[in-house]
Chains A and B, each alone.
Chain A
Amino acid sequence: MKGVYTWGGILAITLASVVGDVLLAHAMKQVGDVGELWRKSSLLAVIRRTLGNPYFVLGVLAMAVAFFSLLFALSWGDVSLVGPAAASLTYIGNATAAKIFLHERVDRRRWIAASLVAAGVALLAG
């Protein structure tokens, strides 16, 4: 039963952080190249434009949800399981979500990279 809670928590963290990452990435694509904007106008304008983007706000909210799910999951399971499992599942989930929602071209090279990093993170954090 404890395992169900722990894996539920891990899934919640993964889901929330994938949603957050996709929303933030989408927001920043709408904002545009920050370096270029900075040169054209001012840093303040860049910040105002980023913070005013609704996707950015939603993304930060999703990240907050992910953080609190992590706290919950840590109260149910071990750090050595929750940390690496959530981190490496996030890489795989993000590759899938970026392909579906952001229409990024996730070719074989990127799939291999995501899998390698996910495996490496699992080994390193475990």
Chain B
Amino acid sequence: MFAATGDSMLSHGMKQTGNISLNHLQGVIFAILNPWVSIGILLLLAFFATYMTALSWADLTYVLPATSLGYVLLALVAKFLLHEHISLMRWLGIALITGGVGFIAGGPALTQHHDATEPVDEPSGAAATPSFDSAQDKLLARTARNGAPSGVKP
């Protein structure tokens, strides 16, 4: 479920970044006030924000291949909106990326850090009882504690 929303979020963001390469084709780099460029920058920021959000609850090796769906979307946008020709090699590339992403999306889990400490996958239990097994967990707990007062204050 999270995977599906994440993928759609990321591909949405990557589709939006597609607009930026359109801007570059137009050659309007010098005009930041140009609406296309400012929209492009905003969309790039939106992509970055969604990418960071996804990284907060999923593995890097999970998120990164998922974002590569953006290449596929970009190619499809080029084909259907810009009527560009897509060669056989590019179709092969699209197929490979889609296959790779399908491989990982059907995969077992998002974050597997707690698997190292507990073989039995129990997300609620692992979250409720803090296990200071690794240095990273300690660091996480510490930042959570330090961050709490400033976080609660609106």
Which residues on A are within 8 Å of B, measured CB to CB? 21-22, 24-25, 28-35, 37, 40-42, 44-45, 48-50, 53, 91, 94-95, 98-99, 102-107, 109-110, 112-117, 119-126
Contacts and interface: CB of A to CB of B under 8 A. Distances in A.
Interface of B: 52-53, 55-57, 59-65, 68, 71-72, 75, 89-90, 92-101, 103-104, 107-108, 112-113, 115-116, 134, 136, 139-140, 143-144, 147, 150-154
- Counting chain A CB atoms within 10 Å of each CB, which of B57, B64, B152 scores highest? B64
Nearest to A115: B100
A21 B103 contact: no
B60 A116 contact: no
Contact of A116 (B53, B103, B154): B103
A35 B57 contact: yes
Contacts of A116: 96-97, 99-100, 103
Nearest to A63: B48
Q: Identify the interface centre among A30, A99, A103, A115: most chain B CB within 10 Å of its CB.
A: A30
Contact of B96 (A33, A53, A117): A117
A122 B68 contact: no
